[in-house]
Amino acid sequence: MKKTEDVATTLGDGFILKEFERNGAQNIQCAIKDLGKVGPYDQCKLLVKAADKLHEEGLIKDKNQSVRLSYKGRDGNWVPFPSIWVNEQTAQQKESEELKAANAFLMGEMEKQRVMLEKLLEAQGIEAEVEATEAVAQRDF
């Protein structure tokens, strides 16, 4: 897939890429190629450098959310396995972000309307009683 190719090009030869699909989204696990031959300090340096590159290329948004040092095993214990995850948003995550953006836009529009109403009432010499409007504009839906 194109995204996997972009990740491979960005990281170079030091990582093994595995593709996973979850909830209709493509996720790529980037594991250090010769993990047993790389010391812990150098593992951290490799992960930081790789995460920085992926972030610069726009392939990951949040480096802290993408870098993983371990995973929870089936028995509930944490297993060390340093890697980076390049995850695609699920349809539900995309929709949620779109709704948040639309909500922010509408809240901004409501604030503009409130200011215009106050100015109109002031211009007509009417003292504005807009407490209810302010309460609605300040709500976080």
Question: Model confidence over 103-120: pLDDT tens digits?
Answer: 999 999 999 999 998 888
H or E stretch covering 7: helix 2-11
CA 67 – CA 88 distance, rounded (Å): 15
The overall average pLDDT reported for the chain is 86
∠112-115-119 over CA atoms, to 5°?
A: 135
Other residues' Cβ atoms within 10 Å of the Cβ of residue 107: 16
pLDDT given for residue 26 in this prediction = 86
The answer to whether the pTM exceeds 0.85 is no
Contact 109, 116 (CB under 8 A): no
Residue 1 has pLDDT above 60, yes or no: no
Other residues' Cβ atoms within 10 Å of the Cβ of residue 66: 20
Residue 137 has pLDDT above 60, yes or no: yes
Contact 86, 3 (CB under 8 A): yes
